Amino acid sequence: MLKPKVLVVMKFIPEIAIDLLRERFEVKILCDPPQGSRAEIIEKIAGKFGIFCSPENKIDEELIKTAGPSLKVVGTISAGYDHVDLTAMKKYGIRLGNTSDASTESVAETTVGLLIATTRRFFEANHAVKTGEWKDVTLGWMCGRGIRNSVIGIVGCGNIGTSIAKKLKAFEISQLLYTSRTEKPAVNALGGKFVTIDELVEQSDFIILSIALNEDTKFIINKERIAKMKSHAVLVNIGRGGLIDQDALIEALQENRIGGAGLDVMTPEPLPLDSPLMKMDNVVLLPHIGSASIETRTEIAILTAKNIIAVLDNTAMSTEVQF
């Protein structure tokens, strides 16, 4: 009997995950470019049972129709799934698996590191060392703001936001504010206060975005809310670039109306080299590496493979998106 077929549209997937798939499927891997071009995916998707993809791959009705009735599952190697057309998935009866829990701790770790690097000016200071700017040090040279005794605001307190809150609580902050779809008992137990998004941006010294991107959250940080922030506020985004009106953020940073920004996600990705964000000392940019620990990337690859296999076996996925 012929094995059903799976299309893997990512390069450098850990072999342990590919081996799991090969036990049950005929596996086709698109290697060039690393995420598979749109044209190549469209060309190769016909007749496939499943697709193993990343947020760089748009899963829309065109692709689903091209795949044909054999397509039963999409496995995305990410917690977010804003790249997937859920309406089309539901229309054609296709199941979606994500990796919602597997990356929690690594993303939370990245968030804390990005916050510290931004507010304490680590990248700017490192540049000073390498370019010879480090000479006579005055009392105020390279000073940033500390986290201790600050007000932290977290937008989105799912698993990742809650983990961030737990980690930052250890810094002896003065207040923890958060906004989410509902109150979170685990965050309340840390002393967190459930507030509106506008209250949060007005009162926080550090604002962290860890919320999913959808039609309701797109540009949740817009020009009006940026205008409400404290003049020294630092904005950290580890969710999706579309959560922020990037043009409004650039304008505020250029005019020094807020203290700075630490961005692991932006619009578009990769960010063009001529973006104004590239030229700013008060911005720290990372190339979407929130989950980039060896352990986590291996775990989420295995989880994605197991999600696809679960659909073949007509069983529950470990992490299935309900729609």
Alpha-carbon distance of 85 to 277, in angstroms, equals: 30
End-to-end CA distance of the chain: 33
Do you find a cis peptide bond into 185, omega within 30 degrees of 0?
no
List all residues 6 or more positions away from 313 whose beta carbon is below 8 Å from its beta carbon: none
Q: Choosing from 83, 127, 232, 288, which is the catalytic residue?
A: 288
- In 3-state terms, what secondary structure has residue 239? coil
288 is catalytic: yes
Taking alpha carbons only, the member of 84, 35, 57, 90 closest to residue 212 is 84
Alpha-carbon distance of 243 to 225, in angstroms, equals: 12
Alpha-carbon distance of 261 to 258, in angstroms, equals: 8
Give the number of other CB atoms < 10 A from CB of residue 162: 23
Alpha-carbon distance of 110 to 132, in angstroms, equals: 29
List all residues 6 or more positions away from 300 whose beta carbon is below 8 Å from its beta carbon: 77, 78, 99, 102, 103, 291
- Is 40 exposed, middle or buried, given 0-12, 13-18 or 19+ CB atoms closer than 10 A? middle
Residues involved in catalysis: 288
